[in-house]
Structure 1
């Protein structure tokens, strides 16, 4: 149903992964939950209502109705989508925008992808289109900030600004325009992703996990996961145990 594909060498610096998702039959009213990850995706829907859309960085979970679908998509690394898209990332936060409005050739892309025989060929073509539409260089300051904020014990915004040699306001503006959220929000989202990966890997004591991830305590962990992901850690673990798509 869902599969990730590695980025080619020419896009490895900006792409986290290409991904495909295929559902043949109706899913009886089921839905699946997409959690914030600090990334921007370009998603090509090939069935139903064919379209190419850009999904901005998210500050809260998105619950998507399931159903027949054939998708090929790319997930950019935090702060990297601007190399291929027109406009600042914070203009599309928590939004879905037609890709043509952000400078991508949506109609030609759909026309070609619809003729290709398999997912691997579609991923290759989407990668080639993105390679041809690299507009801007990566912002090295945003790259360094994103790496620092992904650490298990990330620095405060003030500490990060000092280490990068910029004013706190300048750092916040550049991260927000490149990523879609400011550095403090990005740190929260990246910590949520580490929590989710830990919960997926094996059953965990939530109090111990909260300490390991740098939350103040278990209550803080519960509050953050519910605020960003829409589920408590316990509810998320139960959903995993019953094979629900979360």
Structure 2
């Protein structure tokens, strides 16, 4: 288990500008939550001019607490985003986010995570499923970590206080959800981590054979626990690698395409452009 949050910029377009414009940092959750949660992410800003940020989403569910200016704090569950995410920040504000490990939200949600894919659902109760017609009845926790209509925990905003206080509030909030142990979730979390870290994973059928599984079983597991299929996860992680490398400057795009499992350079360029909204070479030049 890691003792520090990851430091890569995968998925963040123009990460250096992000760090110039806002205060962005990652923190690890309490040890008991780390099997499920990748990290917490905290953002604060005080801007004189609006700032637009784009992100190519990870195959992960996020729970996000936000406060914009003097408006009340709100909370939402963000399912896996399949399109480029863009947000424009202005004035001042704070965000406290929980990025779950792919597969790690299922023990909290208790239902197929594909129900959330491409959606952002307001979180107004103490249970992630309570209050959502598609999820059916569910009992939420009582006590200090209950979420009110404003998104606050226990009557106090999650985004208030120091970083330690904000992380402690998130720890208490998630612990109160009491995720159910699920060995299948553990299996899926490990499978996705292997895809992310092993560049040789390029085809679902090869990956299924490696794990003595059928392609159909992997597809069912990934939809139920991650929210998207294994092919999507593989392509998304390889594309995020391409974006991260492009941020370092012009590349040998043909070699990079071959390394990441694309059939040719043109395939990489098409997918990069379709997801990021700009061809890789133009993106690399724009950061110079």
Asked if these proteins are the same fold (TM beyond 0.5), I'd say yes
Residue 80 (structure 2) pairs with residue 57 (structure 1): yes
Q: Are 2:254 and 2:265, in contact at CA under 8 Å, matched by a contact in 1? A: yes
Q: How do 1:152-167 and structure 2 match up within 5 A?
A: 152-167=199-214
1:123-144 Cα distance to aligned partner (Å, 9 max, x none): 1210222123132334233123
* Alignment partners' CA distance in 2, 1:115 and 1:17: 16
Q: Which residue, out of 179, 183, 195, partners 1:149?
A: 195
Counterpart of 2:156 in 1: which secondary structure? helix
Q: Are 1:141 and 1:164, in contact at CA under 8 Å, matched by a contact in 2? A: no
* Alignment partners' CA distance in 1, 2:26 and 2:168: 13
The 1:70/1:115 distance shift into structure 2, 3 A limit, reads closer
Residue 113 (structure 2) pairs with residue 92 (structure 1): no
Deviation of the 1:94 alpha carbon: 1.4
Deviation of the 1:168 alpha carbon: 2.2
* Alignment partners' CA distance in 1, 2:46 and 2:154: 19
Deviation of the 1:57 alpha carbon: 0.7
The 1:91/1:235 distance shift into structure 2, 3 A limit, reads farther
Q: Which residue, out of 11, 17, 20, partners 2:42?
A: 20
1:139-172 Cα distance to aligned partner (Å, 9 max, x none): 2331232133222121522233333333322220
Residue 230 (structure 2) pairs with residue 186 (structure 1): no
Q: Comparing 227-236 with 60-69, which one deviates more in the overlay?
A: 227-236
| Aligned positions, number | 240
Residue 163 (structure 2) pairs with residue 119 (structure 1): yes
Q: Which runs of 5+ in 1 are unaligned?
A: 242-246
Q: How do 1:167-182 and structure 2 match up within 5 A?
A: 167-182=214-229
Q: Are 1:38 and 1:186, in contact at CA under 8 Å, matched by a contact in 2? A: yes
Deviation of the 1:84 alpha carbon: 2.3
Deviation of the 1:26 alpha carbon: 4.8
The 1:144/1:20 distance shift into structure 2, 3 A limit, reads closer
* Alignment partners' CA distance in 1, 2:239 and 2:202: 16
Which residue number corresponds to residue 66 of structure 2?
A: 45
Q: What TM-score does the superposition give when structure 2 sets the normalisation length? A: 0.75
Deviation of the 1:201 alpha carbon: 4.2
Q: What TM-score does the superposition give when structure 1 sets the normalisation length? A: 0.86
Q: Are 1:145 and 1:160, in contact at CA under 8 Å, matched by a contact in 2? A: no
Q: Which runs of 5+ in 2 are unaligned?
A: 1-22, 130-139, 141-145
Q: Are 1:72 and 1:119, in contact at CA under 8 Å, matched by a contact in 2? A: no
Which residue number corresponds to residue 198 of structure 1?
A: 245
* Alignment partners' CA distance in 1, 2:284 and 2:72: 33
* Alignment partners' CA distance in 2, 1:66 and 1:21: 11
Higher normalized helix content (fraction of residues): 1
